[in-house]
Amino acid sequence: MAVPAYLRQQTKAKFITVATRLAAWTLKWCKDERLFTRRERWIVTGDLWAAAKGVLACAKKANLRRDFADVAQFAEREAYLRQAIDQLMEMEILLTIKYEMVLQGFNAAKQAAPQPEKPPAEEPTGKKAHRGGRKRLTMDDIDRIFEIFFTMTAEEKDLIRGLLDSDKERRAAVP
């Protein structure tokens, strides 16, 4: 039975949930040509996706190591969590570079040359001529996208740092 949202408690494994959301959000926008051009895909998005995927992989691997009495497992867990923080830092650097490019006017979407107006074509019955969202992202859209990116990376970093502190306390309590 599902628990209503207002009754849910924050889980200790929220860092995995946030890492999964961050990876999904990254994949969604890395493949969107309105934000990243094809050329940028070879330069930026591959590294961005690898970092997001790395954060999720490290979080899942760290979560598998739960035996605080075993020194080796504890060290592996801590190493994976630190590696996830490093991947988050890499993501923030790449996102900052891309956002700065947008602010400087190097927007991904090229300005189309003005085309002569075509006479309106007859729309086929039962089908829409235009499917999906806008052709171009507005600056407000781009700001919102990057705000979500930066918010999720900061939240994940805070969760992992809190987990590292909690793990140290739990490890100290183990005889």
pTM of the full structure: 0.76
Question: End-to-end alpha-carbon separation of the chain, Å?
Answer: 38
Q: What is the DSSP letter of 125?
A: T
The owner of tokens 């793990």 is 167
Give residue 117's pLDDT: 60
DSSP 102-117: HHTT--SSPPPPPPPP
Mean pLDDT, rounded, of the chain: 84
- Is residue 155 packed enough to be buried (19+ CB in 10 Å), middle (13-18) or exposed (0-12)? middle
How does pLDDT run across 13-47, given as a tens digit for each residue?
A: 899 999 999 999 999 998 888 888 888 777 888 99
**For residue 129, pLDDT beyond 60:** no
CA–CA separation, 73 vs 42, rounded Å? 37
Residue 54 predicted with pLDDT over 90: yes
